[in-house]
Amino acid sequence: MQQPFLDSDQAIEARLGCSIREFFEREGEERFRDIEQLVIAELCAHASGVLATGGGTVLRPANRQALRAAGTVVYLQSQPEDLMRRLRHDHKRPLLQVADPMARLRDLYAQRDPLYRETAHQTMETGRPSVSSLANAILERLQLAAPTRLN
């Protein structure tokens, strides 16, 4: 079941001609979310395959609606502590460039988790499995949820 992989952040950076962090610093979050919304609408309308989105994509109702209508949305739920472990050396994420990134992750989780749940058709707790184990679990869950086809 080979599917093309698309990353909305990569598509946004290609459109901007700079990194998201640079754009965020220069133009601010609201302007970034405007561009993100345009890219999400285009990707959902014209692309097929697996689409990875940025963490704040669900903040806009239009994005949640477009994603949900375009296909099966899987929310890869991670606790703030797990995210901190994975992201502690990542300096590209503008919202985590603060004095207390753990507190910021907890705030973001509290704000976004209900929006992810609203958008998702499936929720998978990521915990600490390997990427391949998680990918296999997602595929299995999607195959079980897929309607049976009649030949």
Its pTM stands at 0.84
Confidence of residue 150 (pLDDT cuts 50, 70, 90): very low
Specify whether the CB–CB gap between 88 and 97 falls below 8 A.
no
More confident residue, 130 or 102: 102
C-alpha–C-alpha distance, residues 74 and 125, integer Å: 10
Residue 17 confidence (pLDDT):
96
CATH architecture of 5-133: 3-Layer(aba) Sandwich (3.40)
Which residues have CB under 8 Å from 39's CB, separation 6+? Answer: 8, 11, 12, 15
What's residue 38's pLDDT?
Answer: 98
Whole-number Cα distances in Å, 117 to 41, 120, 125, 134: 20, 5, 12, 19
Query: Over the stretch 125-146, which tens digit does the pLDDT of each residue have?
Result: 887 767 788 888 888 888 887 6
Q: What pLDDT, on a 0 to 100 scale, did the predictor assign at position 49?
A: 87
**Spatial separation of the C-alpha atoms in residues 91 and 77, rounded to whole Å:** 22
Domain ranges, ordered by start, for the chain: 5-133
pLDDT in tens, 28-56: 999 999 999 999 999 999 878 889 999 99
* Residue 68, both tokens: 């949900």
What percentage of the chain has pLDDT greater than the value 70? 94
The Cα–Cα gap between 54 and 65 comes to: 16
pLDDT tens per residue across span 68-88: 999 999 999 999 998 888 887
Task: Kindly state the tokens that stand for 65.
Answer: 């609606």
